Structure 1
């Protein structure tokens, strides 16, 4: 495939904002999943500080192209010394298969800083009265595991994990989960569901499994049909939509596709005479000019504003902002849900202003 580990100065950021990190350990979790532990040098530790549930994005050369893939961290920032990502083979997956077959201890990988919004809100993080209900399907256990371990160490909340797999041999983190259950018998309940024995998870099962856990925070990650079933069931029970968190991953398109989409979006926006961009950042108001054809992120940077960003390809969500006034055109989006789009959220790296005046607000 033409992929090779990249050994360079880890402290030097590439033009795309990524860094070289060295693999310090490789853990074979199952026959088709492995974890990579990464060594983060002291000068980069603040840059790679992460929240439970976030992911890392890897850039891997393949057949003359640079492919980007996101993998969640199964480690906890409060009890694990180094970040650990877990990668399950995907049939035909160019990067996931290479990661499982070829990456070894001592290899260097090109990694973007942590990103993602699949995190427990600070307002409820330590609320012991609110149950925490976690649904993991297959390799979707990875970010759920990070949230689980962190919550056990930083709160007194009762936690229920429902973990679905194809069969017993597919259960990732089997021994670690068993140990956590033994260490926290009065706070942690783990229920394993196996497709080979019980079939696929049904709405009736979801309703039964959450009995006694109502009014809590729900985190769901796994295959699409699994997540849809859980989310639909919780909403039908009357659980608040803002307390239901779903992590959906899609592989970014190849660079040629991205370039084509960018060209179309840029051409469409050049004809729009946006003259003024109003930006609220860190509780400060800024009035900046719009540069024809530029994204919101590019215009902000040209004006000297240090707005949050990471991948700049529309899949990490680090540059999320709210459109308060005016219209924008979103070129591509692999992170925002339909509900978030309806609420006015957009991605600064992929969105261009339309009309004479647009007002934005970055969270902070």
Structure 2
């Protein structure tokens, strides 16, 4: 039925349209627009919430499914950075979402759950990260996740669903109980919409849902062979707590799975040892440039932003950049998360990392700014 056009007057000042209606919007970048607005909060489970954000200027978001953003927060007067995987689909570019599990004693997750409401503005950096199926195209995937590690794989699943990419995907998610399964109904909807998308949930115990018809216990090699008999032919993406990912690696190694088809990601900053950052920051750099350079200062040039700062040999580059007002993505500040990874165009650094960068990346000239001290003038591709 046609509506009378006279019923709608676009010049009526009482009528407002969403910012994304009309002209093609610009792409959002954290350099152009530092803050986003929380536009919706959704309770996923009893201790998990999704937070949705939009650009105040109506810009759209461009990212690869599986990538993350860094939130710059102020909690109790202290500046705190945390990176969270984007859980939404890049095919829906007008908003992005993160999905956060409340961690007992977790400073940031509890603050977000208790304080972040629609209308609040948050400083955001990113997106970044290399854990994405977009960079590893395949006809058959196996997604393995546990707990809140489901978020990057959910973004990948949503992207395939939104783009009608009926790839052969098996999604196996492990949770404590059936009531702890995040996105359960949506995953079932995707599976119902796409013939080649299959889900399987593995719950440690029944919890309150005693009529649960699914699998209880833990993911094992025999169970994986039952769920995905052809898993050896699939590209595997895994995300979850460290013990879960180690168990996955062990069972895949037992099966002889080729590591070149295996990709993993893990962010667990809420449980880091609070005493370790200070120990790392204060650790003296072992250099071979001589004692006369201990009090030296080197020039650090950021090639893309055309900024220059000074950094002492006893100072981490990230610290010097912050003091100079240069915004760089960062999170753990311990050389663990890889958020501050950059490409060194020229120069050398002394880097004391804790696993946040791979040796092949170091060989390619990459470095983590949070735990790197200059040994010469630097030019950074940033």
* TM-score normalised according to structure 1 size: 0.73
Alpha-carbon deviations, 1:238-263, whole Å to 9, x = none?
33323211111131879996566334
- 1:163-211 alpha-carbon deviations (Å, 9 max, x no partner): 1111111011122112111111x11010111111521222433344342
Flag the 1:245–1:52 CA change in 2: closer, same or farther, 3 A: same
Report the Cα offset of residue 37 of structure 1. Answer: 0.3
* Pairwise CA distance, 1:90: 0.6
Q: Residue 195 of structure 1 aligns with which residue?
A: 204
Alignment equivalent of 2:146, drawn from 122, 133, 137 = 137
Task: Give the SS at the match of 2:132.
Answer: coil
1:332: how far off?
3.9
- Equivalent in the alignment of 1:262: 281
- For each residue in 1:9-61, what CA deviation from the matched residue of structure 2 results, as whole angstroms up to 9, or x when unmatched? xx9979xx99222110010001100000001234754xx53210011222332
Equivalent residue pairs, number: 332
Any conservation in 2 of the 1:73–1:83 contact (CA below 8 Å)? yes
1:352 equivalenced with 2:373 (yes/no): yes
- 2:240 equivalent to 1:222: yes
Question: Which structure has the greater CA radius of gyration?
Answer: 2
* Residue segments in structure 2 that go unaligned for 5+ positions in a row: 1-27, 207-215, 305-309
The residue that corresponds to 1:232 in the other structure is 250
Give 1:142 deviation, angstroms: 0.8
TM-score (norm: length of structure 2): 0.70
Q: Is the 8 A contact 1:323 1:361 kept in 2?
A: yes
User: Is the CA contact (8 Å cut-off) linking 2:341 and 2:366 kept in structure 1?
Assistant: yes
Partner residue, 1:285 = none
Instruction: Answer whether contact 2:145 2:172 (CA < 8 A) is retained.
Output: yes
CA contact (8 A) 1:309 1:349 kept: no
Which of 55, 65, 81 aligns to 2:78? It is: 65
- Residue 149 (1) aligns with residue 158 (2): yes
**CA deviation string 1:282-326 (max 9, x = no partner):** 9xxxxxx997456578999xxxxx9x9522844653553578999
Which structure 1 residue ranges, 5 or more long, are not aligned? 1-10, 283-288, 301-305
Q: Match for 1:182 among 149, 168, 192? A: 192
